Amino acid sequence: MSNSKPAPVILWFRKDLRLDDNGALTAAAQSGRPVICVYIREPESERTGPLGGAQAWWLHHSLSALLKSVEAIGGQLLLRSGKAADVLRKLAEQTGSDRVLFNRHYERDDLDAEIIAALQEDRIEVKRFKGQLLHDPHSMRTGTGGSYRVYTPFWKALDRDGDPREPLDPPKKISSSLINLETEVLKDWDLLPKNPNWAAEFDRIWTPGEKGAWTKLAAFTKKPIQTYKKDRDFPGLGDATSNLSPHLAFGEISPARVWFATRQLGEFANADIIHFRKELVWREFSYHLLASFPQLPVKNWNDKFDRFPWSKNRDGFTAWTRGMTGYPIVDAGMRQLWRHGYMHNRVRMITASFLIKDLMIDWRQGEAWFRDTLVDADVASNAANWQWVAGSGADAAPFFRVFNPILQGEKFDPDGSYVREFVPELAKLDNKYIHRPFDAPLDVLARAGVKLGTTYPNPVVDHFTARDHALAAYAEVTGRS
């Protein structure tokens, strides 16, 4: 390398697969130095587990989009595999770089310390930036200096502080290093499923990458946000919610950008906008909980639950994963998850409650299944929500709040359109029985072409008996009756 050229800076892309509102990228561009962009495929971490199958699919397409967008601003994105500290050290050595920039990625914040120490040993300066969340989860403190345990005061504190920082525009140009550096080939990472290609329908629903995120945001802020509060609980309505979760999970769009897009809708924050922002803040709150309790994905927040007599019901678990429990709303949700890598929020609560309380299966089994099958799987949000449903979490729903899958179906999918879409063998059943086929007279079933136990399963448990059983186990563990 010629001495007259400034040393390049290394920009490490992680869960921030975007050019827009990317603090590290903007700083790299503004440094005036050549920029070397790298994405590292790291070995799985013990805490966060392997990358789920659905997210592997997403990552392939998201990286493929990012490779092109980095190129469009004059750079090159290198793909490398290995432990982040080793890869970054080697890259710095190969290029003569003395500075590494990256955005914080809170689910592994404590692990970053090791990487920073390793780079500093080699006299490499490290600069970290924020952008994964609206607020640094470590900085949100209660009046007495503690961390928040309850959502409502957390939201109020955040709301009191006003808008978060303004998002940054994407850099128009970065200068490239001109050094010929080796890169791995995305296709060789084998992230896409084969034989069978269970992600066949994903392409129809999702467009991973920054552009896809902006398209979803534009569609949502154009209309559905105006009725968000009322419609968000009805899975049959389709796009009544933003569908931004996988884009946010991979950092293809920043929460600040989403927040500001809702601000531009009008002077007055109406009830629908506020409700939507409150959901974004549930994501923040999940990270806040994870920051104060990094074991959130693997340990009960409330250790009374450590004594809970979870069942090893393997057949029940298999029926649940396959959407064959005999409860239509549960089965529709689990099949939506398999086909689309996504499940509507209301139905996530119903299916999670069913696993934990009707089947008495440990919430961690459900958390792991969701992590493998959701395109939006997120360590903080997934764990916090599973513990919320289980009743074992901070600010959780009480254990005795057991979702009744029949009533939930009738209330939130009144015409059965969601069930009909994902459980087609029940499509011809009358509205009256669509959420309770086991109560339907034989002639009604016959007219709809349903033969219970043959074309559609009988219920794997009786909900009311199972509920009593779960509540009795809970009373024993907690000493409450």
Binders in 452-481 for ligand FAD, by CB under 6 A: none
Cα separation of 435 and 411, whole Å? Answer: 10
Among this protein's residues, is 345 annotated catalytic?
yes
Q: Which is nearer to ligand FAD, 40 or 248 (CB)?
A: 248
58 annotated active-site: no
CB closer to ligand FAD out of 239 and 430:
239
Between CA 38 and CA 30 the distance in angstroms is 18
Which one of 31-39, 70-78, 381-389, 410-418 is the stretch in contact with ligand FAD (CB under 6 A)? 381-389
Shortest Å, Cβ 286 to ligand FAD: 5
Among the listed residues 374, 396, 440, 461, the single contact to ligand FAD using CB under 6 A? 374
Query: Could you give the CA distance from residue 8 to residue 408 in angstroms, rounded to a whole number?
Result: 57
Among residues 12 and 403, whose Cβ is nearest to ligand FAD? 403
320 is catalytic: no
| Residue burial 75-95, b: 16+ Cβ < 10 Å; e: rest | bbbbbbeeebbebbbebbeeb
Among residues 302, 345, 404, 410, which one is catalytic?
345
**410 catalytic, yes or no?**
no
Shorter beta-carbon distance to ligand FAD: residue 345 or 404: 345
Q: Assess 283 for contact with ligand FAD (CB under 6 A).
A: yes
- Is 385 an interacting residue with respect to ligand FAD (CB under 6 A)? yes
Q: What is the per-residue binding string for ligand FAD in 145-184, x denoting contact by CB under 6 A? A: ----------------------------------------
The one catalytic residue among 363, 369, 385, 425:
363
- Give 128's strand partners: 102
Nearer residue to ligand FAD within complex by CB, 31 or 245: 245
By CB under 6 A, tell whether 21 contacts ligand FAD.
Answer: no
Among 98, 136, 279, 421, binds ligand FAD (CB under 6 A): 279
User: How many whole angstroms separate alpha carbon 392 and alpha carbon 303?
Assistant: 8
Residue whose pair of structure tokens reads 């997210």 in the numeric block: 55
| Vertex 26: Cα angle to 22 and 29 (nearest 5) | 145
382 binds ligand FAD (CB under 6 A): yes
User: Which is it for strands 77-81 and 35-41: parallel, antiparallel or unpaired?
Assistant: parallel
Interface with ligand FAD, residue 198, by CB under 6 A: no
Classify 235 as helix, strand or coil.
helix
Is residue 60 near ligand FAD by the rule CB under 6 A?
A: no
Q: How far apart are CA 73 and CA 28, in angstroms?
A: 13
What is the closest distance, in whole angstroms, from the C-beta atom of residue 280 to ligand FAD in the complex?
A: 5
Tell me the per-residue interface mask from 221 to 260 with ligand FAD, x by CB under 6 A, - otherwise: -----------x--------xxxxx--xx-----------
To the nearest 10°, report the CA torsion of 305, 307, 312, 316.
-40
* Contact stretch for ligand FAD (CB under 6 A) within 16-24, 92-100, 136-144, 274-282: 274-282
Classify 49 as helix, strand or coil.
strand
Which residue in the list 155, 259, 369, 386 is annotated as catalytic? Answer: 386
Task: Scan residues 318-347 and list those touching ligand FAD (CB under 6 A).
Answer: 345
The neighbour count for residue 243, using CB atoms within 10 Å, is: 21
Residues 6+ apart with CB under 8 A from 322: 334, 338
Contact in structure between 373 and 204 (CB atoms under 8 Å) = no
Give the C-alpha separation, 42 to 85, whole Å: 10
- The verdict on whether 310 is a catalytic residue reads yes
User: Using the rule CB under 6 A, is 358 a contact of ligand FAD?
Assistant: no
3-state secondary structure string, 289-350?
HHHHCCCCCCCCCCHHHHHCCCCCCHHHHHHHHHCCCCCHHHHHHHHHHHHHCCCCHHHHHH
The greatest distance separating any two alpha carbons of the chain, rounded to the nearest whole angstrom, comes to 87
Edge to edge, the sheet with strand 9-13 lists: 77-81, 35-41, 9-13, 99-103, 125-129
> Which of the 8 DSSP states describes residue 429?
S
Judge whether 386 counts as a catalytic residue.
yes
Least Å distance, CB 60 to ligand FAD, is: 19
Find the catalytic residue in 279, 302, 410, 421. 279
| One residue of 54, 70, 349, 473 binding ligand FAD per CB under 6 A | 349
Q: How far is the CB of 371 from ligand FAD (least distance, A)?
A: 7
Residue 386 touches ligand FAD, criterion: CB under 6 A: yes
Active site (catalytic) residues: 279, 282, 310, 345, 363, 386
Q: Which residues form the interface with ligand FAD (CB under 6 A)?
A: 232, 241-245, 248-249, 279-280, 282-283, 286, 345, 348-349, 352, 370, 374, 376-378, 381-382, 385-386, 389
